[in-house]
């Protein structure tokens, strides 16, 4: 392709609101243009890369017998009412009404549509298992669209769904998907980790997220060097090893603590360590209030609380609710004398005695409160986030890293087939709900994650598997006849074996080189002053090395550079 005929509106300056490196480079390299918050047009270079990522995704899906389909973006509300998600999906679902007053949603995901398709068309166990997938734009009215393509409101997703007669069959497809995802993310050049993740209210099931490692990532991954253990921090289990710091039990005492409203302030006031303080929190679980006790240096993990109670609805109580229940404001809450609500405590609270806790009276705390003697705990459990350096579930110290969720595989079980009545006839002729899995990849997010990992201060450095072009031919000065002629000739010859972008523009050499660095094609052939002698410069974008090469040795040089990438 001749660059004079291409559409690559590169920028010298990046807009201030582009916070992530990939967002900045996508804009600077002329790959995307914002249409509205979280919505972008993909310009030609981006589209070419997306095509390559999608081709890899298709190959790997088809290799495990995935069948491609395309479902409508617009989804009737009736199907979402059947699954119950018309209510529960909340504000992220983009809704609209047609001219007849019928309600629709712009698809954020397609469980409802696919379940209705399969229940109507596949009735026998003989037709199962089946895996269907599509690649399509999805819509989510994200609260905070940001980082360009990393969190958009309209984005490209590959979503796949599998239907099974048995759990074993689902296990097999889940394993196949896990392997296919590993292949896909390796092939596009991402450094990533599959991590154990939270399966939310569906519970009991199994799910992994595929996390591309990147500082900008919004998820924290817990991993260890001792094994291949890796989990999302929401899910990373804290295995309780008792470390009692029990001293002689002292008499309960109420102390006046003016202005003390935080655990740190109480620790400072009493001359104790933060981890010796016990925080009390009131949480609304479904329609019940409960109290949680957590040590001062720990944080309550709502995902674990949800899993413990088997519910999706867990919220911190509001100040008004707290005052109504305990008669005191947050900052002075504690378990002593509480009998209206149940008290749960993180396992590590058992390691302490003579606790410092709120007295349920503003500006007062108790010291020397003791479990069983002064208050009762209904149950101890793992209710908090793990800390870096603590022992993870594999027995090794946990390390933290930031990650971008590029994909997720999920055993759904019968959640949708039961609510939407998708049954099949088993080999005895009896109807049973289908067992399902669902599997997503953020295609546009993956494009951005690759840039996040593959760039330098001059621009993008494409992995060869998804580069928009293989070779960038640049004629330094097209007004010089010899240069122009040789560049034209090379473009024509190289096109036979490579995807070539040919910078034939009447621009200054500096502009062309800057643009080439930004766009990041792995190999550059520069036709300059030595054109008359049949000599050009071949440059490796990644290492910056350049070689003077005679015209007849160019292809060999390109091959030898590609062999190292
Ligand atoms: P997140 O936790 O980042 O909001 P999610 O877990 O809600 O994502 P899924 O429902 O698992 O997302 O969707 C499948 C994939 O789609 C994700 O793994 C991610 O790669 C991609 N994705 C989800 N939301 C967005 C978004 N707003 N912009 C771009 N890609 C997204
Ligand atoms: Mg997800």
Report the residue among 85, 91, 157 best suited for mutation to probe ligand 1: largest number of ligand atoms under 8 A from its CB.
157
CA 209 to ligand 2 centroid distance, Å: 7
- 207 C-beta closer than 6 A to ligand 1: no
Tell me if 109 CB under 6 Å of ligand 1: yes
| DSSP classification of residue 202 | G
CA distance 538 to 500: 14
pLDDT for position 551: 96
Q: For ligand 1, is residue 539 a contact (CB within 6 Å)?
A: no
Task: For ligand 1, pick from 408, 443, 444, 446 the residue to mutate: most ligand atoms within 8 Å of CB.
Answer: 408
Residue 380's contacts (CB-CB under 8 Å, 6 or more residues apart) are: 344, 345, 346, 347, 349, 350
Tell me the whole-structure pTM to 2 decimals. Answer: 0.91
Q: How far apart are CA 86 and CA 93, in angstroms?
A: 8
What distances in angstroms separate CA 30 from CA 26, 34, 47, 507, 516, one per listed residue? 6, 11, 11, 17, 12
**Mean pLDDT for each consecutive 10-residue tract of the chain (565 residues)?**
97 88 97 97 98 98 98 98 93 97 98 96 94 98 96 98 97 98 98 89 73 95 91 94 93 96 96 95 96 98 94 93 96 95 97 96 96 97 97 93 97 95 96 97 98 97 98 96 96 97 96 97 97 97 97 97 96
Q: How far is the CA of 405 from the centre of ligand 1 (A)?
A: 7
Regarding the beta carbon of 152 and ligand 1, being less than 6 Å apart is answered yes
How far is 221 from 404, CA to CA, in rounded Å?
10
Q: Is the CB of 157 under 6 A from ligand 1?
A: yes
CB neighbours of residue 195 within 10 Å: 27
Residue 513: the pLDDT is 97
| CA of 442, nearest ligand number | 1
406 CB less than 6 Å from ligand 1? Answer: yes
The pLDDT assigned to 17 comes to: 83
Return the axis-axis angle of helices 167-187 and 44-63, rounded to nearest 10°. 140
Q: Ligand 1, closest atom to CA 446?
A: 20
Decide: 155 in ligand 1 pocket, CB within 6 A: yes
Q: From atom 1 of ligand 1, which residue's Cα is the shortest distance away?
A: 405
Query: 128 C-alpha vs ligand 2 centroid, how far in Å?
Result: 26
- Å from CA of 212 to ligand 2 middle: 13
pLDDT at position 309 = 94
Residue 481 CA to ligand 1 center (angstroms) comes to 52
């Amino acid at each position: 392709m001749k660059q004079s005929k291409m559409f690559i509106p590169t920028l010298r300056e990046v807009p201030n609101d582009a916070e992530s490196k990939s967002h900045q480079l996508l804009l600077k390299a002329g790959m995307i243009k914002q249409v509205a918050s979280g919505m972008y047009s993909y310009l030609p270079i981006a589209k070419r890369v997306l095509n390559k990522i999608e081709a890899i995704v298709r190959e790997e899906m088809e290799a495990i017998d995935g069948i491609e389909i395309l479902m409508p973006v617009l989804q009737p509300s009736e199907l979402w009412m059947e699954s119950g998600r018309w209510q529960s999906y909340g504000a992220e679902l983009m809704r609209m009404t047609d001219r007849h007053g019928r309600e629709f949603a712009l698809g954020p995901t397609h469980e409802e549509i696919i379940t209705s398709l399969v229940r109507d068309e596949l009735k026998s166990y003989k037709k199962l298992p089946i895996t269907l997938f599509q690649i399509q734009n999805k819509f989510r009215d994200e609260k905070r669209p940001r980082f360009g393509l990393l969190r958009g409101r309209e984005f490209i997703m590959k979503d796949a769904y599998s239907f099974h007669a048995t759990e074993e069959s689902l296990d097999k497809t889940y394993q196949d998907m896990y392997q296919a995802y590993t292949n896909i993310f390796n092939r596009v050049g991402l450094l990533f980790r599959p991590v154990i993740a939270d399966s939310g209210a569906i519970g009991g099931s199994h799910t992994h997220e595929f996390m591309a490692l990147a500082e900008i990532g919004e998820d924290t991954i817990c991993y260890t060097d001792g094994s291949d253990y890796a989990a999302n921090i929401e899910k990373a289990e804290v295995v309780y090893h008792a470390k009692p710091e029990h001293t002689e039990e002292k008499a309960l005492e109420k102390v006046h603590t003016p202005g003390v409203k935080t655990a740190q302030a109480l620790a400072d006031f009493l001359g104790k360590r933060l981890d010796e303080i016990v925080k009390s929190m009131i949480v609304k679980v479904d329609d019940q209030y409960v109290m949680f006790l957590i040590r001062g240096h720990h944080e309550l993990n709502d995902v674990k609380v949800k899993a413990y109670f088997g519910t999706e609805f867990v919220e911190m109580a509001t100040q008004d609710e707290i005052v109504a229940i305990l008669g005191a404001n947050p900052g002075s809450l504690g378990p002593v004398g509480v009998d209206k609500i149940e008290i749960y405590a993180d396992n590590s609270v058992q390691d302490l005695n003579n606790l410092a806790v709120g007295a349920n009276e503003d500006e007062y705390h108790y010291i020397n409160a003791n479990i069983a003697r002064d208050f009762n705990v209904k149950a101890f459990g793992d209710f908090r986030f793990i800390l870096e350096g603590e022992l993870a579930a594999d027995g090794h110290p946990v390390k933290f890293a930031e990650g971008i969720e590029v994909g997720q595989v999920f055993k759904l079980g019968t959640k949708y087939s039961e609510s939407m009545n998708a049954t099949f006839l088993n080999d005895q002729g009896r109807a049973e709900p289908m067992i399902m899995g669902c599997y997503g990849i953020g295609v546009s997010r993956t494009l951005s994650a690759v840039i996040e990992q593959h760039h330098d201060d001059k621009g993008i450095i494409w992995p060869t598997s998804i580069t928009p072009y293989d070779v960038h031919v640049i004629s330094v000065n097209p007004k010089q006849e010899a240069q122009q002629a040789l560049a034209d000739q090379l473009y024509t010859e190289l096109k036979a074996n490579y995807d070539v972008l040919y910078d034939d523009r009447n621009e200054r050499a500096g502009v062309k080189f800057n643009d080439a660095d930004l766009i990041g094609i792995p190999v550059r052939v520069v036709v300059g002053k030595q054109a008359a002698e049949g000599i050009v410069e071949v440059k490796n974008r990644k290492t910056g090395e350049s070689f003077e090469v005679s015209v007849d040795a160019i292809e060999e040089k390109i091959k030898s550079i590609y062999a190292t990438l």
